Amino acid sequence: MVSQAHKNATKTYRAKSLKNMSLTFSQHDTESYAALCELEKVYGSASGAIKAALIAHAKSLKS
């Protein structure tokens, strides 16, 4: 049995979580996959690479 406190904590955690995403590349999307691999070398992980790329792109749109 799950306590009400646990349910509330789970609800709060999910409310604070902005996005959970999954990324799948098709066999034809080799350019994007290769770009991600290059960014992973710099940022250490796919999630770090994607976050950095999103932030950089958003900043470029503002300028």
- Domain residues for 49? 27-62
Number of domains in the chain: 1
Question: Is 44 part of any domain?
Answer: yes
Query: CB burial class (10 A; 0-12, 13-18, 19+) of residue 43?
Result: middle
Look at residue 1 in the predicted model and tell me its pLDDT. 78
Read off the pTM: 0.63
Compute mean pLDDT per 10 residues along the chain, 63 residues long, and list them: 88 81 90 94 94 94 87
Look at residue 4 in the predicted model and tell me its pLDDT. 92
Question: Is 6 part of any domain?
Answer: no
CA-to-CA distance for 50 and 20, rounded, in angstroms? 13
Question: Is 3 part of any domain?
Answer: no
